[in-house]
Structures are given as structure tokens and as C-alpha cells.
Structure 1
Amino acid sequence: MPLGRPIEEPPPLSAGRVELRVIRTRDAEPLRALLAENRGWLQRWEATHPAGRGVTPGTVSMRPTVRLLRRQLRVGSGLPFVVLLDGDVVGQLSVSEISGGALQSAQLGYWVSEHVAGQGVTPTAVALAIDYLFGELGLHRVEICIRPENTASLRVVEKLGLRYEGRRASYIHIDGAWRDHECYVVTREEAPGGMLSRLPG
């Protein structure tokens, strides 16, 4: 079940050159352009509909998607962020499946443009998000599921020291087929000093 209350929009979260900010309508066009420019970089990791429905990311306006994502705040089920580097939008980070009650958990997914890959942007963004979820929302557990072939994303969870919990077979429909995912988790008790402290200064 969701938190049971709306999630108050957090202020921008930042560390060095990297910032997380809740997605806004004005982000729709920069995101659409990034998705179009990064088709070859992102397509093999993108969720698809098993029945073949849907549109190619980057080919249509993102405004309806932004509205849907922001609705998650009102119902307490998700936190949709854009990732910025030096003030420019370079990707997205989505906190989804936020659960209250006895679970107090969330799932986290992300993508960044190829031109900023390898610059430490994604690990910093993920650390900012998890620290907010533990420190401000009071969640207990955050989970990240990654395809075994996605070595760049696997490096993110390795840098942050998330605990490997096992493989989920045929877990999500990605790039036209049901794909296995590796599951990595961290609980609040496992990160007493915060996630940002795990990254080099």
C-alpha cells in the first residue's frame, strides 16, 4: 500500500555538481530530446509492453508522462526526479512502489544520457535519493533491480555497497522480452552514515 498520504515535494537535493529535483512540466522537452538522442544507449534497458503497445521514447511529447509522474506525489506512491549536472537535465531517477504500513519500502530506477556516463553522476543521484528516503520519508528498505547484462548500472550499486539479494527470473518486460534482473537492496540499518558517505569525496 502507498504511504497513505501525499508526499510533500522535497527541495532540490544536491551534492557537488549533481542535483535531484522533482520533475516539472518544463522538463518535458529536455527529457524528450535526451531520449531521442540516446536511443542506441537506452533502448536495450527500456521497459516495453508485452502486447506491443506503447510508443518509442523520444518521439512524442513527455507532458502527459510528467503529469502522470507528478500524480504519484499526490497519492503517496512515488517520487519522480530529474537528474541535473551543472544545472542541465541529464536524466531521470524514479522512486516507485513506495509502500507504507508494515513494509516501508520503495524501488528505484534511473537513466542518464550517454554523454555524462562514467562521471559519477548516477551513483551520486542514487545516494541522494536513498538518503532522502531513509532520512525524510522514514522508509526502511530500498531495492534496485538491474539486468545482468547492464554492467554500467551494476557498477552503481557496487560503488554504493548495496547488498545482492538474488536473481528474479523473467521479472520485467524489457526491450521486447521478459528479462531476468539482479536484485540489490539496502536497509536503513545498513547505512547508518548515509549513502553519500560511501562515495569518494
Structure 2
Amino acid sequence: MDLTIPREQGPVAIRLVRQRDARVLQQELLSNRSWLRPWEATSPDGPVSFDMRLGIRRLLQQYRDGNGVPFVMEYDGEVAGQLNVWGIARGSLASATIGYWVSERFAGRNVTPTSVAMATDICFTELRLHRMEICIRPENQASLRVVEKLGFRYEGLRRRYIHINGDWRDHYAFALVREEVPEGVLRRWLDGRAPADAASRPPEDQRSV
């Protein structure tokens, strides 16, 4: 894949992860353990490697294979977190999923919604994907605010969907398809035209988690 990146909006930028990012990303993960642990994917088969260098090599191989796009999120030139586009499917599905984490010291600066918007726009315009999905634990209020700001549409509750922090957890699913945002996700949000209630969850789904 040959994508037009990095992309930036104000102090926020996204770019492809590099092997030399391993040290600073591992430092951020270690210093944010209490902040990130409740939302981190785990394995039911036991502990997984915390070797960031190996992790980046795997992510870049997935990128070369066309299965994912691993981004670093930056704020004023500092590494603020990661955003991964994964599970890219071509053909009749033409979809992918977005996952991310941001360091606590950058929370509240619109790093994540800006990065998600830019990454989604890249996927729609350059990768020509049709649908982008984000799955979020019901307890993760910070991530829910991201999809609410950007107008991702609520699609339903997925029971015990992903192994997170040591157990199978329910997730809310949100998505956008390309024709919903002909002007782009970032432009729609910045212009104040993202639908305010698109990410609203029905009471029955909120009661049942």
C-alpha cells in the first residue's frame, strides 16, 4: 500500500509506525498501566509478549500484506498513542476495524477523535474501503465520546465479544459507510455537521450490560 501520510490537523498528526518508535511506545505503555489496563486486549490462552519491537515488526508485516495500517498518533510532535486499522477485508465486504490507545497526559485534547477521523478518511478515499467499525466496551466513557463526536452510527451490542483485561467483555459496535460522509469524517466534524444522536444506544442495550 502506498498511502498519503502523515496527515495532520492542528497539533494532531498520524503517521505510519516506525521500528524506532518501539522504545518510546513501550515507555508510554508502561507509564500508563493503570490508565490503559482496563481496556487492553488480552488472551484467554495466557500472558502475551510485551515486546514492542516484535509487535511493531508484526504490525508492519500486516501493513505490507495489506491486512492493516498501523499509525502513531502525535500531539505537537510528541508520540501520544497508537491507532491501528486491522482486519482489512477486500472484495464484497471492503471493511476494517479501528482500535486505539492514547496516553493519559494527552487525554481531553481531541487527539483520538481527530486521529480516528483522519484514519477513516484515508481508508475511505485511498484504500477505497466501504465500511469502518469501532467496538467499545460500555464502561469506556472516553471512547464512547469519540464515536459520539464523530457521528459513528450505533449498530448493536455484541455479547462477550473480545477478551479484555482478563475476561470476555461485551462491546457496543459503531460504524460508518463511505457514502454517509462524502465530504469526509474530519470535515463533517469540524464543520459541526456530525449527527449528534447517531451513536445513541437504546435503553434495552444499556440496561442489559
TM-score by length of 2: 0.89
Letter in 1 for 2:28: L
Matches within 5 A, 1:4-19: 7-19=1-13
The answer on 1:137 being equivalent to 2:127 is: yes
**From 39, 51, 54, the counterpart of 2:45:** 51
- Superposed, 1:31-110 pairs within 5 Å as 31-55=25-49, 57=50, 61-110=51-100
Residues of 2 paired with 1:52 and 1:174: CA distance?
Answer: 12
Cα distance 1:28–1:37, how it changes in 2: closer, same or farther (>3 A)? Answer: same
CA contact (8 A) 2:158 2:171 kept: yes
Higher relative contact order structure (alpha carbons within 8 Å, sequence separation ≥ 6): 1
Task: Report how far residue 9 of structure 1 moved.
Answer: 4.7
Q: Distance in 2 between matches of 1:23 and 1:8?
A: 14
Match of 1:3 in 2: none
Given the alignment of the two structures, is residue 149 of structure 1 paired with residue 143 of structure 2, yes or no?
A: no
- Which residue of 2 is the match for residue 4 of structure 1? none
Deviations 1:47-103 (A, max 9, x none): 111022314x4xxx4111111000011111000000000111110000000010111
Could you tell me how far apart the structure 2 residues matched to 1:129 and 1:49 are? 27
2:112 to 122, 133, 155: 122
Distance 1:51 1:41 in 2: 24
Q: Does structure 2 conserve the Cα–Cα contact (< 8 Å) formed by 1:95 and 1:106? A: yes
Q: CA RMSD in A?
A: 1.1
* Equivalent residues of 1:9, 1:22 under 8 A apart: no
CA contact (8 A) 1:9 1:73 kept: no
Counterpart Cα distance in 1 of 2:83 and 2:4 = 14
- Identical amino acids, percent of aligned pairs: 54
- Paired with 1:107 and 1:169, the residues of 2 have a C-alpha distance of 17
**Gapped regions of structure 2 (runs ≥ 5):** 192-209
SS at match of 2:115: helix
The residue type paired with residue 15 of structure 2 is R
Quote the Cα distance in structure 2 between the aligned partners of 1:39 and 1:187: 34
- The count of residues paired between Structure 1 and Structure 2 equals 191
1:199 is paired with a residue of what secondary structure? helix
What is the TM-score normalised by the length of structure 1?
A: 0.92
CA distance in 2, matches of 1:143, 1:171: 14
The one-letter code of the counterpart of 1:152 is A
Measured in 2, the distance between the counterparts of 1:35 and 1:180 equals 24
Residue 196 (1) aligns with residue 186 (2): yes
2:85 and 2:2 map into 1 onto residues whose CA distance is 14
